[in-house]
Structure 1
Amino acid sequence: MATRPDLVAQNALAADIRRPVDFAFLDIGDEPLRVTTAPSHVSISGTGDEDLDGFTFQALDPMFVSVGRIRSKEGGGDTVTLTLSGLAGVDAALMTDLGNKANYAGRDARLWKAMLHPDTLGQIGAIWCYYTGYMSVPRIVGDRSSQVITLDVESYLGFFSQASNRTYQDQQVYDPGDRSAELAVAIANGAGNPR
């Protein structure tokens, strides 16, 4: 699976008229979400990517679904925010799935891009993956007339480099003979050396 555009797609990107489209896989609940900003549904095969091959990506209007800016940096990419339709009644199944943290937290989210011919809408070059990470925090924004779900996705490297939230008070868990935390608390409270 390509991680950058092949030569044919690069030439299409350099053209005066471009038609890039996004593909997204979100491992939400029992039925993962596969969507595209292409003008019609797209069935994919032959890429060698198990998250693409054999699946149909449902066409969604890009006005209702968007991908935030992706910035790469040392140690991994920044958090990416995905915006999904979240209208009551229309998107009830998705909102129900996102109501249970086990259905999204720490699960995969992948983004691909492809180039379409501006006139025929046929694919130009190969699809390439440009972001892979884990879903973290969804938020519902708006009101009943125009409600969306924003979903943060952490890069793999960012996910693994999160703070452990451990303190020196936990030291005895890792070294049963280490009483330094207990002694520090006793000294801070003026109790001297506890026995």
Structure 2
Amino acid sequence: MIQDRPDATAQAALDAYARRPVSFAFLDIKGEPLRVTNAPYDFTFSGTGDEDLDGFTFKALDPQLVSIGPVRAKEGGSDTLTLRLSGLPGVDDELMTALGNRAAYVGRDCRLWRGMLHPDNLALLGGVWSYFTGYMSVPRIVGDRQSQTIELDVETYLAELASATPNRATRKG
């Protein structure tokens, strides 16, 4: 018999295969490094062997306030990745001040990792894996004082080298 939705047995099977991917982001903003995650709680890493992870806490942020655009691979590297960050005056003043100094972010690293959480107890399943590394370029402020966001483009090393656009970011020294 055909039903409009899964029955209890089918739903239990679907629930058993639930996946809960989470992302971790490191933005190497000089003097104000930002480590955030869309996991439901803060994460502190140890023993991964990655100097950008070990010993650092990635702060859990509301995914409605922060988002990572899709990573699209293409010949010569990935397309430009866009990060959307909260930029509300009075709430995100430290980040806004840091991004006011071009030397604090242009050409500096942005790294992204993924991991999987157990659907029931939200424990990390296995390790995390790196899936994108690039260099930050000039941010754009979008919106107004009530719903302002920062859009920050990140380019891979290959895309940065191939670009002939003026004022392109140069790698930090």
Judge same fold: TM > 0.5, yes or no.
yes
Distance 2:35 2:116 in 1: 18
Distance 1:25 1:103 in 2: 14
Q: Does 1:71 align with 2:49?
A: no
| Secondary structure in 1 matching 2:97 | helix
How far apart are 1:160 and its partner, in Å?
1.9
Distance 1:108 1:131 in 2: 10
Where is the helix percentage greater, Structure 1 or Structure 2? 1
Alignment of 1:178-189 (within 5 A): none
| Secondary structure in 1 matching 2:30 | coil
Deviations 1:116-169 (A, max 9, x none): 00110000011000000000020110111111000000011111222286xxxx
The residue that corresponds to 1:107 in the other structure is 108
| Secondary structure in 2 matching 1:93 | helix
Distance 1:29 1:157 in 2: 23
Distance 2:42 2:127 in 1: 17
Distance 2:48 2:18 in 1: 26
1:83 is aligned with what amino acid? R
Alignment of 1:86-125 (within 5 A): 86-125=87-126
Distance 1:164 1:147 in 2: 27
1:118 is aligned with what amino acid? P
How far apart are 1:100 and its partner, in Å?
1.0
| Secondary structure in 1 matching 2:89 | coil
How far apart are 1:60 and its partner, in Å?
0.4
The residue that corresponds to 1:188 in the other structure is none
Distance 1:97 1:31 in 2: 7
How far apart are 1:79 and its partner, in Å?
0.2
| Secondary structure in 2 matching 1:96 | helix
Distance 1:29 1:142 in 2: 25
Distance 2:77 2:19 in 1: 28
Distance 2:56 2:161 in 1: 29
| Secondary structure in 2 matching 1:94 | helix
Alignment of 1:1-195 (within 5 A): 16-163=17-164
Report the structure number with the largest CA radius of gyration.
1
Closer, same or farther in 2 for the Cα pair 1:161/1:89, shift >3 Å? same
Q: TM-score, normalised by structure 2?
A: 0.84
| Secondary structure in 2 matching 1:87 | coil
Closer, same or farther in 2 for the Cα pair 1:54/1:158, shift >3 Å? same
Distance 1:139 1:47 in 2: 34
2:95 is aligned with what amino acid? L
Distance 2:128 2:98 in 1: 29
Distance 2:74 2:39 in 1: 29
Identity of aligned residues (%): 67
Q: TM-score, normalised by structure 1?
A: 0.75
User: Contact conserved, 2:32 with 2:95, CA < 8 A, in 1?
Assistant: no
Q: Which runs of 5+ in 2 are unaligned?
A: 1-15, 167-173
